Amino acid sequence: MSNPYPHPVIAREGWPFIGIALAVALIINSTSGWFLALPFWIVFLIVLQFFRDPPRAIPTGARKVLSPADGRIVAIERARDPYLERDSLKISIFMNIFNAHSNRSPTDGEVKQIWYHPGRFLNAALDKASGENERNAMWLHTTEGDDITCVQIAGLAARRILCYTREGDTLQRGERYGFIRFGSRVDLYLPIGSKASVTLGDKVLASASVIAKLP
């Protein structure tokens, strides 16, 4: 399944950064030559790849939970969901600067509530980042009647969490709902009885990888 893709392949959130990096590289190149400009061209390419936002094939299946982010699985554990105050299966995905940072809905459902918490900017790969870093949590009530909490967490270099949904919005699986700039993490809290389809260290792609199955 492929959802309509109304977003540019290079995310709009990155256009100002890409423009600045390109302008600096061009100025240095024209005034000092390509050799001195080479580090600035490398920076431009890194910024360009960071803000890529490619279309993805989206797996079907109402009980399948899709990855909300590109990255590496750093936690699969039973944990307390601090937002819905329940026991849950927690799956965490760490995004480094070489991953795409567009966030996608893990399943179909209605946005019931949004919580934003200011906080620190610790390394997002650390477990304590879940409770101490700046974060934005979204409660998604699925069309099958399950509740999922999806938490965007700022990282060491991240300084801006963007979430475009509001309470009452309806999301389709794989639909783009947010973006985090420069290194971050996403935590998913799933109902007890959910089964992880990934293992620690696995690399996943937003909306293309199935990471769990609901009970």
The catalytic residues are: 184
b/e map of 148-174 (b: 16 or more CB within 10 Å)?
bbbbbbbbbebeebbbebeeebebbbb
H-type helices in 107-200, by residue range? 129-132
The half-sphere exposure of 61 on its side-chain side, counting CA atoms within 13 A, is: 15
Q: Which residues of 3-36 are buried (b: 16+ CB within 10 A; e: fewer)?
A: beeeeeebbebbeebbeebbeebeebbeeeeeee
Q: Are 188 and 149 in contact (CB under 8 A)?
A: yes
Give the pair of three-digit tokens for residue 16: 């100002």
In this structure, are strands 161-163 and 176-180 parallel, antiparallel, or unpaired? antiparallel
The string over 93-106, giving b where at least 16 C-beta atoms fall within 10 Å of a residue's C-beta and e elsewhere, is: bbbbbebbbbbbbb
SS3 35: helix
Q: How many residues does this entry show for the chain?
A: 215
